[in-house]
Amino acid sequence: MSERTRRDWLRALGAASTAGVVGLAGCSAFDAGGETEDDTSGNGGSGDGSDGGGSDGADRPTAGPDDGVKTQFRQGLRNTGYVDAAIPEAVETAWELPANRGDHSASKGSPIEAPNGAIVLADDTGRVQSIAPDGSVNWATSISDDDRGSHGTPAIADGSLYVGTYDGVVSAVALDDGEVLWQTDAGDAAAASPTYLDGKLYVAIEHATPSGSVVKMDAESGEIEWRDERPTNHPHSTVAIDREHGRLIFGSNDGHCYAWSFPDLEREWAYDTGGDVKLPLAISEGIAVVPSWAGTVTGLDVEDGSMLWEFETDGGETAKGEPDPGSTGGVMCAPAVHDGEVYVGSHDSNAYAIDLETGEKLWSTPTGGWITGSAVATNDHVLVGSYDAKLYALDRDDGSVTWTAEGRGDVTSAPFVTDDAIYYAERAPEGSDEAGMCYKLVARE
């Protein structure tokens, strides 16, 4: 492990002018259309530590004021992607800001709310921004000069944010002013979003050959305290932790889902899905819900890794939406889980609801393009982004379209829902010099 202290040049890069970053409102088009409180220090989906983000009502602990963690990708340690909130029946754009500029196929980083009310976004330019609710930029800091920048979503705790970049560096940045606190070389690429718990970071790391590892880091110093090189072939699936069942689990591009005991971190089991596991899995009620490029979503027993069920998507389409009979309809979408139901999208352009216990399909809804990135469940809706440049709000009961919000590029980030807004980011439009945007949606007047 080597720690970088590149603060001088990083500050210079981070001081780049933010003039002109606030876009015009209204440019997007819209179409109507159980665990215990032991998990509280890993949850807190809306940034105030009050909506623990579990898989159901009994699985949604209330975080206390001293838990430290206020925000984490996928709404907590088990990556359930559920937010205890309601969304408007119709929306409009309050503002948009330039964000991603690259076209790398991996899902982009997602906006997330910090305890101070700011929206934090790491993008593929290698920059982290703190954005005020009115769309003005509080600060912008460059943490990497790698061509692919960051595709992860920061974890935020105790006044710092933590995020990795494609040069293999994990960085800690001060939340109030964007100062780089430490940087640690962890491998060749750190594309996964960090998972924070009790002063430690757990991150999947990519290495050349291709190979990979998972590390445990001290959040205060950046020191790597533990590494296991069992995962191979460029893992960038966010670590999930189930403390009730004592497991740390994530997936890899080698097609396997790997599990360690937690907190002692002994190897437990591995399951081969038959296709790349690129996005975070979700854990609920002792079941790990694993998306795979094999065209499947698999329910695994968290404790022993045995298969409980396997759901197959309907088939594949090309990125342009044409039928592709040779495709398996690979799943590169992080599933959301709530009230015993799984919500996930596929390369076959469909969004699905699946029964958590049986794996049976409850409904499916077509969109105009691949669905990658992350599904998010709210109290009454499911939010999914598509390659047709639209964010979809679907009714959880039957999958009907409540509304769509249309931008410019493929929507591959996880939308973030607050009490009064929805934030999401997109990839830069294909074949264009334009940047992909970060949007704020609010209730239509």
DSSP string, 47-72: SSS-----SSGGG-PPPPTTS-EEE-
* Sheet-wide strand order for 200-207: 195-197, 200-207, 211-218, 224-228
Long-range (24+ apart) CB contacts under 8 A made by 425-429 are 425/99, 425/100, 425/108, 425/109, 425/110, 425/111, 425/121, 425/123, 426/99, 426/100, 426/108, 426/385, 426/389, 427/100, 427/102, 427/103, 427/108, 428/100, 428/101, 428/102, 428/103, 429/389
Q: Is residue 205 a part of any domain in this protein? A: yes
Tell me: do 96 and 191 sit in the same domain: no
**pLDDT, tens digit (0-9, with 9 covering 90-100), for 40-75:** 333 333 332 223 333 333 333 333 333 344 467 888
Q: Is residue 367 a part of any domain in this protein? A: yes
Length reported for the chain: 445
List, for the chain, all residue ranges whose pLDDT scores fall below the cut of 70.
Answer: 1-71, 103, 316-328
Select from 111, 138, 220, 126 the least CA-distant residue to 166. 126
pLDDT of the residue at 429: 86
Tell me: do 94 and 172 sit in the same domain: no
Q: Is residue 8 a part of any domain in this protein? A: no
Domain that holds residue 177: 108-238
Select from 289, 293, 334, 336 the least CA-distant residue to 316. 293
pLDDT of the residue at 3: 39
Select from 352, 351, 345, 347 the least CA-distant residue to 325. 347
Residue 322 sits in a domain whose CATH number is: 2.40.128.630
Question: Cα–Cα distance between 279 and 384 in angstroms, integer?
Answer: 14
Select from 323, 381, 317, 376 the least CA-distant residue to 348. 317
pLDDT of the residue at 103: 66
3-state secondary structure of 75: helix
3-state secondary structure of 300: strand
Would you say the C-alpha torsion 284, 71, 158, 260 has a positive or negative sign? positive
Tell me: do 160 and 204 sit in the same domain: yes
Tell me: do 146 and 280 sit in the same domain: no
Q: Count CB-CB contacts under 10 A for residue 429.
A: 17
Both tokens of 78, joined, read 């088990």
- C-alpha 394: how far from its chain's center? 19
Question: Cα–Cα distance between 342 and 288 in angstroms, integer?
Answer: 11
Tell me: do 291 and 316 sit in the same domain: yes
**pTM for this predicted structure:** 0.85
Tell me: do 233 and 309 sit in the same domain: no
Q: Are strands 267-272 and 256-261 parallel, antiparallel or unpaired?
A: antiparallel
Q: How many domains does the chain have?
A: 2
pLDDT of the residue at 69: 47
pLDDT of the residue at 241: 95
Domain boundary among 211, 238, 265: 238
